[in-house]
Structure formats: structure tokens, C-alpha cells
Structure 1
Amino acid sequence: FMSVSAPPSLLFLLGEALYPSPEEGWQIYSSAQDADGKCICTVVAPAQNMCNRDPRSRQLRQLMEKVQNISQSMEVLDLRTYRDLEYVKNTESLMKVVDGKLKVASENPRSLNPKGFQELKDKVAQLLPLLPVLDQYKNDAKMILRLREEVRNLSLVLMTIQEEMGAYDYEELRQRVLLLETRLHSCMQKLGCGKLTGVSNPITVRASGSRFGCWMTDTMIPSSDNRVWYVDGYFKGRRVLEYRTMNDFVKGQNFVQHSLQHPWAGTGHVVYNGSLYYNKYQSNIIVKYHFRSRSVLVQRSLSGAGYNNTFPYSWGGYSDIDLMADENGLWAVYTTISNAGNIVISRLEPQTLEVLQTWDTGYPKRSAGESFMICGTLYVTNSHLAGAKIYFAYYTNTSSYEYTDIPFHNQYSHISMMDYNPRERMLYTWNNGHQVLYHVTLFQVIKTSGD
């Protein structure tokens, strides 16, 4: 810790790309003084869900899964036992009849004539299905012994963990972790914008769909809304799947389907404040579709914008118009004939889709693999194939650009969608039929009120 009279400026490196260890907290990598004598620190925020990686927490989750499995086994046993018991009850009267006839026959064998003997055989035959039921009872008894042993072992392990953890039970600890994560997320959201300096290793969320597609969460609404939207294919489609949570998306369950009035083109869709913005097929029209009302709120032509594979990214796929959102709002990335095929950035008014301001980056769109906006800066990859890196950055706040060299692992070698989510500070990508996430590292100067 350094004690200085002047209020410090903090240089934050946010994200997991340079974060050394999930077991460690906030990391101060270096400290120095600037020309004015103010303290400058380089800090890395810890990975979210850090506490979930604690070995005891992981062990508790495994134990909870075992308990769930045991509960399911007990339910199966209960159902089967109830069913078999009903069968035994139904055959009880038959068994009494057979028992009575056998006693009479044993006491007076001559009383058993051929007809009576056949009836007795028939009754016994009706009892034969009871044998496998009794065999099942034997197997169930063995299973109950195994379950009893597992429960005993679980109890011992839980007691040991409870002693290690002290007074807190697991649920209380989990709530404390969730509270800390919420506070960390809130803190990160309050931080200002910064310059991209690194991208983490890819996190494959799911493998589904065709080679080309788009998936996303809302870039603006509160973090309590965890819906995921999934759009497979790159042209003529109308089907959008809405999953309730990220966990449901991973499992492919609990979704509703939206059928768009107009088909889409490309994979440059974005969900912003409860609406889907997308390029209408075979046009340069942008459509705003509202999920809750399932209706088109507005559609507007993007004047002069190329469409129908006139100016796509290098991978093609009708990717002429790429819509995206960042901390500064809603954007369209495209090009026009008058701009000679170079990438144009326009900031849009979300309600009316009017163009508020436009920049010509000078970068040829057909040479770009994909692009995304962070804090008003457009970052462009040099390819959609293996070996791609973030190669070019255009800063709208200064109308200037620079060539960059930010590597990232293009694990599945064919990216057809790459978008930044400012709410989560992550990159969403569609990589050769895989839905993949990247954490980003942003470099920023945060000044206190005294600066």
C-alpha cells in the first residue's frame, strides 16, 4: 500500500485474459508515480464465480448431485414397490383359493377329479407372474442396502466439511458468494470505458446448429434477465428461439419460438432493450422486432448501404450489414459504393433507427473477418479462419484509427458472428457450429473526483 497526498488514478485491466489464478483476489501488478506525483496502479479484477471453484464448494455440489440421484432412485423404488404391492394384494384372494384346494387335495387325494385338477393348474398358472415380482423385491432389497451405505458415507463427508467450514452452512455460504458476485458485477458496471488489450481463451458453451448463425443475450436490460436468443442460419430464416436462462440454452430446453414477419439476412443481429434488430433479407432495411408484443415496431432503410452480398465480410453469408451495441448505444457497421467498399460506422437512434452520426474507417470490409464495438471503438479481425487476430481499431471519439495485434484462439476455425455484450463485458461468437464466449481485458484510466 502507498500513502500519497494526491488522489490516485487507477489503471484497470478487466477480465480473465491476464488474471493469474481464480483462487487469488484483486491483483496489483505494479505501482509507480506519474509526472505529477500521483500513484498509478495496475489492477486485475478477479474472475467472476471465483468462489464456485473452491474445492469444498465443488465437493458439495458433487454431494448434492449424489443426493439428487439417491432421491430419484428412492422415488423409483417407491413407485415400483407400490405397484407390486397392489399386484400382490390382488393375487392374495387367489392364493387363498389355491391354498384351500391344495389342502383338500392333500387330505383326500381321491376328491381331485380331472376337472378339479385342471382348475387347480389354471389357478397356479395365474400365480406364476408373481415370481418375477418377488425376484424384483429381492433386487430392490439389495439396492436399499447400497443406498443406505451411500447415505451413511454422505453423512460422514458432510460432517467433515461442516467442521472445516465452521458455523456457516452451505446455503448461507452460497448466498454470501452470490452477494459478493453481485457487488463485483455492479462495481465493474460502474467502471468507465477502456481500450481492448486482451482476449481470454475461448469458452465453448454449446455445439449446435449449422456452420453459420448468431446467439446473444440482451445488451442493455438488467442482469436479472438471463434470456438467450438463438438464430441458426444466415439468410431467409424467420425462426428465433428464446431460452429462459443460459443453463436452459446449454441443455436445449425451456424455450419459446418467435416467427418473424420478415426474413433476415446475415448474422449481424443484436438484441437491445427487449427488441431484436436485424437486416431484412434482400434489402438494406433494418427491422426492429419487439419480443414481448411479437410485433415489428419500426423498419427503416439504411441509406446507400450495400446488401445481398455486395459488401459482406470475407466469409460472405449476406453479412453486408452488421448491427451491434456497446456502452454508447446502437450501431450499424456496413459499407456503401460511395465509400468504395470501406467500412462505415453509423450510430443509430434505437427508437426510430435514424442515423445520428457516421464515420468512414477507410478499412475494406471484404478484408475483414468480423468486427465488434467496445466503448465507441470498432475492432476488426483480419480473418474469419484459423490464425485470426484483432488487427484494426477505429476510434469514433477521435475519428482516428490504428493497426493492432491482439491474438485470440479461433478454436473451430470459422467465425461467422462476433459481438460484444457491454452488460456482461464478454464477446459472443458463432464458430463453425459452436457457441463460444470470450472474456475481454480493457485498459482504462479511472479518475477520482479530486482529479
Structure 2
Amino acid sequence: MWSLSVVLNPLLFLLLFGYCPSVTIRPKEGWQVYSSAQDADGRCICTVVAPEQNLCSRDAKGRQLRQLLEKVQNMSQSIEVLNLRTQRDFQYIMRMESQIKGLRSKFRQIESDRKTLVNKNFQELKGKMESLQPLIPVLEQYKTDAKLISQFKEEIRNLSGVLMGIQEEMGAYDYEELQQRVLNLENRLRNCMSKLTCGKLMKITGPLTVKTSGTRFGAWMTDPQASPKNNRVWYMDSYTNNKIVKEYKSIADFVAGVESRTYNLPFKWAGTNHVVYNGSLYYNKMQSNIIVRYSFETGRVVTQRALELAGFHNVYPYTWGGFSDIDLMADELGLWAVYATNQNAGNIVISQLNPDTLQILNTWNTEYSKRNAGESFMICGTLYITNSHLTGAKVYYAYSTKTSTYEYTDIPFHNQYFHMSMLDYNARDRALYGWNNGHQVLFNVTLFHIIKTEDDS
């Protein structure tokens, strides 16, 4: 049975799912990870694995499965024959057991009043009892064997059903149909994830190094508002004196260096704190406090507006400098700008922006010095600030725009390559994108949140 389970385990792996970015899934040979997701505590909700294309064709593996099924059926027939023979012997032994019980009763009666019987008759009965005594352990063994055979039959029956079910599945679906079923499952998973409401940051794990490229400073990102099928990546190397944006159709193309398009922006950017949101790139125009909205679809600037009173050109940068005065970011609640002003004594100011017009919708003044911040990012309307861009950095301060209150935190994260010049949250991926000393990395975040149901108002 052990060797049989070894054969079945890879076949049944498709039926089980249980990812996480922090956990590495290594399927057996011939299988590949298709998708995954996790819950609020960072535990894996599900991992979808799919066979490679040649696995689902009617090839040698299909023939092996049919041969295995035939062997199991032959075993089942043999067990049935053995069972009939055992049942026949078992009935005979049961009758013997009844006789033994009767003799035991008589023997006890004789023992209690042996003076009334002739000694010869007593010895005769005692001899019969002794001749039947060895049958008792035989009877018990037959009972045990009959029970084991019954259990064996049930296992064979269940196993045959599983194998026939797998055979039917393999015969009914080709690779494309199976892939579509996995895609449907992924869509259901995304719908489930969409019910997760905003939460509080509890932990940061990683990083996962996606690629090593470019200079020490830069930015890379995906669009949190894009559809699940749109996984384009944008890449902006350096923090100044550049206006070339590279586009890749997917993470895989990005890793392979296969560009799909290049954009030549009308203005050079300042810093590394750009964001792509709903098909547009938002960035800080070099040597100004002007925010530019550039449409990738039309290839032109749609809107540009000055962020009044915001310091620029290394007046209020993050600790690493690099003209990082104005940080543009997005989360579940919309588009944000993080900067500092003289009026707020160089402390961080948070403004929520209208994505279309770039007008300020609301503003919050914090008491955290912009020059003492390593990086910052927004999650669910809360600004999280790191205390350094170097090794040993941690999320040290959090400001909630919902309650207009702050708290000091102690959430470490691994600055693997010693210098962080970009750290931004992506609400669709629920991950932090980082530029870590010329390495493009991803961090997984764990949020404390609740499940939103249809009954919630």
C-alpha cells in the first residue's frame, strides 16, 4: 500500500490547496505552481498547482494509470475469493464456538457436583473439553482475519473509486480546459481576497529578490488598479536627470529583460517616489514641486499641478537624499502625496489627491521630521514611516488619517542589500515593492483585518 500511495500523491496534489510569498512551494516533477494567496496572518489560504502540458495528454502516464487500475481490480477479485473462503471457515468455527460454550457450562456443572457422577463419565467429558480447547485461539484469529479482510476490501473499493475518478478527469479534459478551470478558481480566490477589508500592518517578511539591474537608486512598479490579466511592469532607473520609462508585459518579461515599450517623458523626474495608478504615471517634475500625470495610453501629459508649499530639490528629502522630497503613493483608498513644508517645521505632511485633477482633497500634518524618515508608504489610509534607509531599519511610526492620530511601532524588515531608496505598497498584490541598492525586491505584508460580509453596512 505504501508504494501505491507514492504513485497517487502527485495525482491527488491537484485536488489539494493550501502560499504564501514567504513559503516556498516545490511541487513534484511535472507540476508547476499556478497561483497563490494568503490570509491576514500570513498563512497560506491556497496554492493552485497545475500539471505541465504533457502531463494531461494521453501519454505514458495515462497508460501507467490504467495499468495501476487493472492491478487494483485484480487485487480486489483475489480478495473477494479469499473472503468467501474465510467466511465459510468462519461459519464453521462459529458453530464450534457454540459447542465450546455449551461444554464449558456442562463442565462447570460437573465440577460443582462431581460426586454424583461416575468418574469414567467425568474423565470422558473432560477429554472432549481438552480436545476442543486448542480451537479457541484459532477462532479468535479467524475473527481478526475476517475483520482485516473486511477493512482491506473497503480500502480497495475506495482506491478503485479514486483511480477511476482520476482516469475520467484525465480523459475528459485536455490541458486548455484544465487551465481554464484553474483560472476560474483563481478568479474565485481574488473575489474572496476582495472581501478583506483594510487592516493594520503587523509584519513584513522577505524580501524576494526579483532582479538585479540598474544603478543604486531607482523605482519599479505595477498598477494596483489594473485588471488581473494586466501585469505590466514599469521601470525607472536613477533618481535624476532621466526621463526614460521602460515597460514590460509581465514580471517574467521583466526578469528576462524583454521590453514591450519605452516611453520618453516630456520632463525629467526627481527622486524615486513615483507611482502608476489607473493607467497613469504620477511623478515629481525635476527641480520643482510640480506633480505630473502622464497617460501611458495616450503617451502625453494629462495634468500637472504644483503642490503648494511643498519643499523640493533636497530641501526635505528622506535620509538618503536623492531629491526624494515629494513621495507619491497609492493604497486601497486612493492617491496620496507625502512631503514637508516650512509651515509644518519640516515635518511630514500627508495630502490625499484627486487622481484626475491632482487637487488636494484633504491634508494632515504630522510631527515626524521628513529628514529623519528612511522611507514611507500608505496602507489603508495609514502612513507607515521607517527610521532609516540602511541596515537595521524598521517601521517606527504610523499615522492614521482616519483618526488623525499616531503611534510608535516596532516592525522590523530585512534590508538585505543595505540601502533602500524606494519602498511602496501595492494594494492589488498586498506587497511592498522595493529598490534595494540596485536590486528589485518584493516584501510580503501581514495585515490585521476582518472579513467583510454582505450583512455589513
What is the rounded CA distance, in whole Å, between the counterparts of 1:189 and 1:375 in structure 2? Answer: 13
CA deviation after TM superposition for structure 1 residue 156, in Å: 3.9
The one-letter code sitting in structure 2 at the alignment partner of 1:46 is C
Equivalent of 1:270 in 271, 275, 280 = 275
Mapping 1:232-271, distance limit 5 Å: 232-271=237-276
**What corresponds to 1:332 in structure 2?**
337
Match of 1:185, SS state, is helix
Equivalent of 1:307 in 303, 308, 312 = 312
1:167 and 2:165 matched: no
CA deviation after TM superposition for structure 1 residue 449, in Å: 5.2
Mapping 1:411-422, distance limit 5 Å: 411-422=416-427
What is the rounded CA distance, in whole Å, between the counterparts of 2:411 and 2:167 in structure 1? Answer: 46
**What corresponds to 1:294 in structure 2?**
299
Deviations 1:406-434 (A, max 9, x none): 12111111111111111221111111111
Larger mean CA deviation between 155-164 and 374-383 belongs to 155-164
Equivalent of 1:51 in 48, 53, 56 = 48
Q: 1:221 to 1:17 in 2, by over 3 A?
A: closer
Equivalent of 1:205 in 202, 210, 235 = 210
CA deviation after TM superposition for structure 1 residue 293, in Å: 0.8
Deviations 1:233-283 (A, max 9, x none): 001211000111221111110421100000000001000111100000000
Q: Which structure has the greater CA radius of gyration? A: 2
Equivalent of 2:288 in 243, 261, 283 = 283
CA deviation after TM superposition for structure 1 residue 299, in Å: 0.7
What is the rounded CA distance, in whole Å, between the counterparts of 1:161 and 1:254 in structure 2? Answer: 43
CA deviation after TM superposition for structure 1 residue 405, in Å: 1.1
What is the rounded CA distance, in whole Å, between the counterparts of 2:45 and 2:220 in structure 1? Answer: 23
Equivalent of 1:224 in 225, 229, 237 = 229
Match of 2:168, SS state, is coil
What is the rounded CA distance, in whole Å, between the counterparts of 1:173 and 1:45 in structure 2? Answer: 26
On the 8 A contact 1:17/1:440 being kept in 2, the answer is no
The one-letter code sitting in structure 1 at the alignment partner of 2:209 is T
What is the rounded CA distance, in whole Å, between the counterparts of 2:337 and 2:455 in structure 1? Answer: 37
**What corresponds to 2:159 in structure 1?**
none
What is the rounded CA distance, in whole Å, between the counterparts of 2:247 and 2:38 in structure 1? Answer: 38
What is the rounded CA distance, in whole Å, between the counterparts of 2:42 and 2:438 in structure 1? Answer: 32
Match of 1:179, SS state, is helix
What is the rounded CA distance, in whole Å, between the counterparts of 2:65 and 2:255 in structure 1? Answer: 30
On the 8 A contact 1:199/1:440 being kept in 2, the answer is yes
On the 8 A contact 1:306/1:337 being kept in 2, the answer is yes
TM-score, with length taken from structure 2: 0.66
**What corresponds to 1:365 in structure 2?**
370
Count of residue pairs the alignment pairs up = 328
Mapping 1:117-132, distance limit 5 Å: none
On the 8 A contact 1:218/1:227 being kept in 2, the answer is yes
Q: 1:426 to 1:26 in 2, by over 3 A?
A: closer
Q: 1:399 to 1:254 in 2, by over 3 A?
A: same
CA deviation after TM superposition for structure 1 residue 194, in Å: 0.7
CA deviation after TM superposition for structure 1 residue 173, in Å: 3.9
Q: 1:318 to 1:27 in 2, by over 3 A?
A: closer
The one-letter code sitting in structure 2 at the alignment partner of 1:174 is Q
What is the rounded CA distance, in whole Å, between the counterparts of 2:38 and 2:253 in structure 1? Answer: 34
Deviations 1:18-52 (A, max 9, x none): 879899x9999xxxxxxxxxxxxx8766256x123
On the 8 A contact 1:17/1:441 being kept in 2, the answer is no
**What corresponds to 1:11 in structure 2?**
none
Larger mean CA deviation between 190-199 and 300-309 belongs to 190-199
TM-score, with length taken from structure 1: 0.67
What is the rounded CA distance, in whole Å, between the counterparts of 1:431 and 1:43 in structure 2? Answer: 25
Equivalent of 2:409 in 400, 404, 408 = 404
Match of 1:183, SS state, is helix
Which gives a bigger RCO, structure 1 or 2 (Cα 8 Å, sep 6+)? Answer: 1
Equivalent of 1:440 in 418, 423, 445 = 445
**What corresponds to 2:357 in structure 1?**
352
Percent identity, aligned pairs only? Answer: 55
What is the rounded CA distance, in whole Å, between the counterparts of 1:334 and 1:159 in structure 2? Answer: 66
On the 8 A contact 1:226/1:246 being kept in 2, the answer is yes
On the 8 A contact 2:20/2:38 being kept in 1, the answer is no
What is the rounded CA distance, in whole Å, between the counterparts of 2:63 and 2:431 in structure 1? Answer: 39
What is the rounded CA distance, in whole Å, between the counterparts of 1:27 and 1:319 in structure 2? Answer: 33
On the 8 A contact 2:195/2:451 being kept in 1, the answer is no
Q: 1:26 to 1:327 in 2, by over 3 A?
A: closer
Larger mean CA deviation between 391-400 and 420-429 belongs to 420-429
What is the rounded CA distance, in whole Å, between the counterparts of 1:330 and 1:43 in structure 2? Answer: 26
1:391 and 2:392 matched: no
The one-letter code sitting in structure 1 at the alignment partner of 2:48 is C
CA deviation after TM superposition for structure 1 residue 395, in Å: 0.3
RMSD: 2.9
What is the rounded CA distance, in whole Å, between the counterparts of 2:415 and 2:43 in structure 1? Answer: 25
Q: 1:450 to 1:278 in 2, by over 3 A?
A: closer
CA deviation after TM superposition for structure 1 residue 161, in Å: 7.3
1:190 and 2:188 matched: no
CA deviation after TM superposition for structure 1 residue 178, in Å: 2.5
Q: 1:259 to 1:43 in 2, by over 3 A?
A: closer
Larger mean CA deviation between 162-171 and 436-445 belongs to 162-171
Q: 1:342 to 1:294 in 2, by over 3 A?
A: same
What is the rounded CA distance, in whole Å, between the counterparts of 1:16 and 1:367 in structure 2? Answer: 33
Unmatched segments (≥5 aa) in structure 2: 1-18, 28-35, 69-162
On the 8 A contact 2:244/2:264 being kept in 1, the answer is yes
What is the rounded CA distance, in whole Å, between the counterparts of 1:212 and 1:418 in structure 2? Answer: 11
1:317 and 2:296 matched: no
On the 8 A contact 1:16/1:441 being kept in 2, the answer is no
Match of 1:202, SS state, is strand
Q: 1:161 to 1:279 in 2, by over 3 A?
A: farther
Q: 1:403 to 1:20 in 2, by over 3 A?
A: farther
What is the rounded CA distance, in whole Å, between the counterparts of 1:320 and 1:26 in structure 2? Answer: 35
